[in-house]
Amino acid sequence: MALVTLACVFCFPSVATAELLTVDSTGDEADATPGLDGCLTGGGGCTLRAAIEESNSSSAELDEVIFDEDVFNGQAASTIALGSSLPTVVDPVRINGRECLTAAGVTGPCVGVDGPAAGPAMTIDGAAEVEIEGLALTGAQTGIEVENSAFFKVRASWFGVQLNGDDGGNATGVLIGPGSDLSRIGGEGPDAGNVFGYNTEDGLHIHGATQVRVLGNYFGVERDGVSPATNGKDVEVTSVAPGGPQAVGTVIGTRVGPAAAATPQCDGGCNVISGAATSGVDLEGDGGTEAPAAATTLAGNYVGVNPAGNGSIPNATVGIHVGAAAQTVIGGRKTGEANRINGGDIGVQAGPAAEDLVIRGNLLGVDAAGTGQLAPPDNGIVVDSEGLASAAVEAVIADNQLRMESGVAITQEGFGAWISDNAIVGAGVGIRTRESSGEHGNLIEGNSIDGPSVNGLLVENDLNEIVGNQVSGAGGAGIAIAGSAPFGATGNVVGGDSASEENVVNGSGGDAIEISNLEATSNEVSRNRGAINAGLFIDLVAASPGTEPKGPNDGIKPPPLTNLNPTRASGSGAEPGAEVRLFRKRTAETGELESFLGEASADLDGDWEVAYDEAVPVGTIVAATQTSEAGGTSELIVATTPAGGSGSGGVNGSGGSDVVGGSADRVPPRTKIIKAPKSKSANSMARFVFDSDELEPVFQCKLDSKPFQICHSPKKYRGLKPGRHVFRVRAVDPAGNADSTPATREFIVLTRAGG
């Protein structure tokens, strides 16, 4: 039996066991005898260098390196000064520096590692599942450099920030290189994230690795959430050029859960990406060995926002720079996927030729509560689609909220995009499209644009379809199509064939729809409506009056209105084959159009007739346009439905007198508040429901000393300060008559107990 037992000893190889190595020295000596006697150095202690050397001497075992709590306690003296780069980690290891109350006065790493300036502090190459926790790495060319090491994890560590909170910047904080796939930077739990600050180049650079997750980190701000800590760039994600490994499937942030989304704090996997000297996130790189990333997702992050969500720490140039990175998704359909983007020159910049770009559901210039303005970027979303191969890879810009002070909220250049259901408040221009490319324009649908100082929509390229948008309170024309010699904008369609496709333009300081263009262009204006516009509802303006005597759309004139009665309208002298559209007006105001009555095609002699679905009363003001077979629409001609069953036409809407017969509405509407908050309440949110005795009025609201602004029922105010408040609302009818006695409600917001 003894012989059998002895024989069995030689039947199996010896099995290495994982080591637990305790670093008890801030020195930098090497291991005296790697593989023997643990990590003892010649001086009798265990250094971090010696512990890594000892771990490397084992094979395929997950060793663990920990640190003596009496020596490493988060104070300045707990820092290891490196004379040279640490040994490359080539075997699985977990280096756990723990968390302490640091010399900076916040919870953070217990262990500091400083230097070397000429190389990486730590390199991991060919070792899967390495984990780093609780280190502050400063003063190195790269804090941690990871190559060919899948499933790498780093959490609760600082890169570029010393244990006392001072600037100790590296050139790059962490570099995740090719083959280091499925790595995880940070985490979703409390204090799981890392801090990247004061790094002169990149806080985090993912270069040629796939499916890396970046969660819960602070970039550009210290752990206290207040002190800025500027990186050159916060996060850079690039593929290896030329033709090297791609950075595919990086996820920055996450869909934060309902509990985290309900609070203003950046938590639940949200990254703070702020304060960069250039871009917060760069997916294109600097050229050379850096090529654009692919299939990157950014969700639930605070970009240019502090961790509390109530202040701006802007990135100097661009919040998120996509460049030509394909299949980038910024935001998403669900609430927890929204990125909050504030400050800087541009919020999101993409192109040229960023294929399959999706920018959806984000909040730009909006505070963390989602109700007020924070610090908007100078320009919101700027996309250049020049060079896209087909409509199948066009951009989607949808469901975003933008609160702007100036600039352009959404700019789309080149090949078309789908710009849909965005809510824009403020800005100089709400949506601008320019520089047509190929035979495909943009679909601009269902957007709400309130209070732009110049235009709601400014179209400077071809083939756009503009339907179902609401533009309120533009300083100039609500919708402007503008071309200039020698270039024109043509083939655009404003409005559609159903009520849901009508653009609603109210309260513009200029025309509702203005086409300033060359005569050799054709832009169609179909069904639209609106009121209280200071200029004409449709205005055709020659781009070069001295050389363009006809004006836009080949100088097409409105169709003569030969006969009107309560059931139909007809005319002669229209352009052969033209589409004649009839509209009902409530008032004589030139900038008002109430509803669509019907349409018909003119025959070869220019004759046409439209029968109404329902009869209109005598005295109803009717307006008509015609659209040529080439696709250009005229201004409006206006006439009044006479008694006796017949009547003659009116005059061109641009001639200064738009109505023949009829009388102007001079009766102001009356406004009433239906629901309001209690007279005294500790609730800082107030909601008002109101109505008018007239159909389809425009409402204007004001709170306290602020001016009246266009609003909709219900109107909500959030974050109200304790004290007395006065809400007023008035209706304005399509004739421009305003209620002279606005409905008023006073209420008091009480100070909360303990507040």
* Residue 546 to residues 483, 490, 515, 549, 565, Cα–Cα distance (Å): 15, 21, 17, 7, 41
Please report, as a single letter, which amino acid is at residue 658.
D
Three-state DSSP class for residue 382? strand
pLDDT of residue 2: 47
Same CATH topology for 556-652 and 671-749? yes
* Cα–Cα distance for residue pair 243/481, rounded to 1 Å: 43
Cα 54–chain centre separation = 49
Which residue, among 231, 188, 181, has the nearest Cα to 206 in the 3D structure? 181
Enumerate residue ranges in the chain where pLDDT < 70: 1-17, 60, 436-438, 485-486, 644-665, 752-755
Three-state DSSP class for residue 500? helix
Written as six digits, the tokens of 209 are 């690795």
Per the omega criterion (within 30 degrees of 0), is the bond before 486 cis? yes
Torsion 569-572-573-578 (CA) sign? positive
For the purposes of burial, counting CB atoms within 10 Å of the CB of 741, is it exposed (0-12), middle (13-18) or buried (19 or more)? exposed
Cα 721–chain centre separation = 28
Contact 58, 19 (CB under 8 A): yes
Cα 634–chain centre separation = 37
Tokens 């007023």 — which residue? 728
pTM of the model: 0.86
Q: Strand 568-571 and strand 608-611: pairing? A: antiparallel
Residues with Cβ < 8 Å from 221, sequence gap 6 or more?
A: 195, 197, 227, 228, 229, 272, 274, 275, 306, 307, 313
Quickly count: other Cβ atoms within 10 Å of residue 663's Cβ: 11
Written as six digits, the tokens of 668 are 């102001």
What tens digit of pLDDT does each residue of 454-504 get? 999 999 999 999 999 999 999 999 999 998 766 789 999 999 999 999 999
* Residue 444 to residues 116, 347, 348, 350, 508, Cα–Cα distance (Å): 54, 20, 19, 18, 19
Written as six digits, the tokens of 555 are 């100088």
CATH number of 556-652: 3.90.1200, 1.10.3470, 1.10.10, 2.60.40? 2.60.40
CATH class given for the domain over 671-749: mainly beta
List the end-to-end C-alpha distance of the chain, in Å, as a whole number. Answer: 81
* Cα–Cα distance for residue pair 395/328, rounded to 1 Å: 10
Cα 586–chain centre separation = 39
Angle at 176 between CA 238 and CA 131, to 5 degrees: 155
* Residue 537 to residues 238, 508, 597, 624, Cα–Cα distance (Å): 49, 10, 16, 12
Kindly list the domain boundaries of the chain, sorted by start residue.
15-170, 556-652, 671-749
Contact 479, 494 (CB under 8 A): yes
Burial 274-306 (b: 16+ CB within 10 A, else e): bbbebbbbbbbbeeeebbbbbbbbbbbbbbbbb
Contact 193, 156 (CB under 8 A): yes
Quickly count: other Cβ atoms within 10 Å of residue 627's Cβ: 26
